[in-house]
């Protein structure tokens, strides 16, 4: 945690003095990184042409799970990514997954997918060992071929492996870290907060797909900026006054920080495939506390209820001046 905070501070030029009404803030948060007491299953089928099909209950809603899970299969079986396809979800044939939630897809479902692919790999190597006259332990898969000390053989020479349906679950509490740092400017006449720079660092364990992981983190930060600065359900006499996206303010492109830095911290300490752990929601958590701290640093006003709208900031500034 200390390492992440120091990285964020350096990216913000923490020791550099700020202009009037400009402040900086840091925050670090911990989150259940997905999958505590969760069970998931995956099936990997490999055809005689060397292609593979993954059956998984994880629902693709834009987080990139189909791509990342396919990468796990391709890596384990030594085939190209384009040789892996993900079957459409069908409750008749898709293995069980309790839900697509809690930053768990790459942790728990990723682990189930990896185990299923490893089982297929074992079957292939055992079959190839009989054909090649070698021990399975001395064989490896790479480039759609079985390689051994005496030579190599094409996968199509072996029998097609049976499908494998394996489950994975984590019975312990897994935490992931997220760091956020912000530099902002406050207009004392209007209470408007302008985000000059936002730095986010995500504890991902191992990024299976770095580009998608950065996108997840950036999206999480934007959700955090939304509930920190804009989003509020307004009621009058029990009636919701802003029940739609015309009246309910969510972040738009012009609300993005002028400088936006997202960095992945990879320590390889996650329980998922190749040391991965859940991420995405971790980008949401530090935003509010970092911005509130930066607001206090900029104008000496500490507000503990969200959102930090211009009218609310302006009223606190008036109260500060009256009390002073």
Averaged pLDDT, 162-166: 41
**Domain end residue (candidates: 126, 146, 169):** 169
Tell me what the pLDDT averaged over the chain comes to. 86
For the chain, list the strands marked E by DSSP.
22-32, 39-46, 52-56, 84-86, 140-142, 145-148, 151-154, 164-169, 175-186, 193-203, 235-236, 239-240, 259-265
pLDDT reading at 151 higher than 80: no
Which residues, 6+ apart, have CB-to-CB distance to 36 below 8 Å? 102, 170, 171, 172, 173, 174
User: Residue 164: what pLDDT?
Assistant: 42
Which residue range forms the structural domain that includes residue 275?
2-33+174-323
- The answer to whether the CB of 189 falls within 8 A of the CB of 21 is no
Query: 94 with 123, same domain?
Result: yes
Enter the tokens of residue 96.
Answer: 């069980």
Query: 45 with 164, same domain?
Result: yes
Which residues, 6+ apart, have CB-to-CB distance to 160 below 8 Å? 46, 47, 48
**Domain end residue (candidates: 152, 169, 186):** 169
Burial class (CB in 10 A: 0-12, 13-18, 19+), 53: middle
Question: Which sequence positions are flagged as catalytic?
Answer: 281
For the domain that residue 20 is a member of, what is the CATH number? Answer: 3.30.365.10
Query: 128 with 213, same domain?
Result: no
Query: 314 with 179, same domain?
Result: yes
* Per-residue pLDDT tens digits for 216-230: 999 999 999 999 999
* Per-residue pLDDT tens digits for 281-313: 888 999 999 999 999 999 999 999 999 999 999
pLDDT reading at 153 higher than 70: no
Write down the residue that tokens 């992931």 correspond to. 176
Query: 214 with 231, same domain?
Result: yes
Query: 207 with 264, same domain?
Result: yes
Gyration radius (Cα) of the chain, Å: 25
Query: 179 with 153, same domain?
Result: no
Q: Cis omega (within 30 of 0) on the bond before 198?
A: no
Q: Which has more confidence, 168 or 289? A: 289
Averaged pLDDT, 144-149: 72
User: What residues are paired with 193 via a beta bridge?
Assistant: 186
User: Residue 156: what pLDDT?
Assistant: 29
pLDDT band at 127 (very low <50, low <70, confident <90, very high): confident
Could you give the C-alpha distances from 14 to 138, 261, 291, 302, in angstroms and in order? 54, 15, 15, 20
- The answer to whether the CB of 56 falls within 8 A of the CB of 69 is yes
User: Residue 34: what pLDDT?
Assistant: 58
Query: 65 with 23, same domain?
Result: no
- The answer to whether the CB of 313 falls within 8 A of the CB of 191 is yes
Query: 159 with 179, same domain?
Result: no
CA distance 99 to 34: 11
Averaged pLDDT, 50-54: 90
**Domain end residue (candidates: 137, 169, 201):** 169
- The candidate with the shortest Cα–Cα distance to 95, out of 55, 61, 37, is 55
Averaged pLDDT, 255-259: 94
pLDDT reading at 236 higher than 90: yes
Please give the tally of structural domains in the chain. 2
Write down the residue that tokens 């006449």 correspond to. 189
User: Residue 36: what pLDDT?
Assistant: 63
Query: 86 with 124, same domain?
Result: yes
pLDDT reading at 177 higher than 80: no
Query: 220 with 86, same domain?
Result: no
The b-or-e profile of 268-295 (16+ CB within 10 A means b, else e) is: eebbbbbbbbbbbbbbbbbbbbbbbbbb
pLDDT reading at 57 higher than 50: yes
Query: 164 with 185, same domain?
Result: no
CA distance 237 to 39: 44
For 204-267, list the strands marked E by DSSP.
235-236, 239-240, 259-265
Lowest mean pLDDT among 168-172, 249-253, 316-320: 168-172
């Amino acid at each position: 945690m200390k390492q992440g905070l120091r990285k964020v501070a350096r990216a913000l030029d923490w020791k550099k003095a700020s202009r009037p009404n400009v402040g900086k803030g840091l925050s670090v948060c911990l989150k259940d990184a997905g999958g505590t007491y969760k069970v998931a299953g995956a099936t990997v089928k490999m055809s005689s042409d060397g292609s593979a099909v993954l059956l998984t209950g994880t629902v693709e809603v834009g987080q990139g799970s189909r791509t990342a899970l396919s990468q796990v299969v391709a890596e384990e079986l030594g085939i190209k990514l384009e040789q892996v396809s993900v079957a459409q979800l069908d409750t008749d044939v898709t293995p069980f997954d309790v839900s697509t939630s809690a930053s768990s897809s790459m942790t728990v479902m990723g682990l189930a997918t990896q185990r299923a692919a490893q089982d297929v790999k074992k079957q292939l190597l055992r079959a190839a060992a009989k054909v090649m006259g070698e021990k399975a332990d001395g064989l490896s898969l790479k480039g759609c071929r079985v390689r051994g000390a005496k030579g190599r053989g094409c996968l199509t020479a072996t029998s097609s492996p049976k499908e494998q349906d394996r489950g994975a679950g984590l019975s312990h509490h897994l935490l992931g870290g997220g760091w956020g740092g912000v530099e902002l400017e406050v207009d004392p006449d209007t209470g408007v907060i302008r985000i000059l720079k936002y730095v986010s660092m995500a504890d991902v364990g191992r990024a299976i797909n770095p580009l998608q992981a950065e996108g997840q983190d950036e999206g999480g930060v934007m959700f955090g900026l939304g509930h920190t600065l804009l989003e509020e359900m307004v009621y009058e006499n029990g009636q919701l006054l802003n029940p739609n996206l015309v009246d309910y303010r969510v972040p738009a492109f012009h609300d993005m920080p002028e400088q936006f830095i997202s960095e992945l911290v990879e320590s390889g300490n996650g329980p998922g495939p190749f040391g991965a752990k859940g991420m995405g929601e971790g980008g949401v958590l530090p935003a509010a506390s970092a911005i509130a701290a930066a607001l206090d640093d900029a104008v000496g006003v500490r507000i503990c209820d969200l959102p930090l709208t211009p009218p609310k900031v302006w009223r606190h500034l008036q109260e500060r001046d009256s009390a002073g």
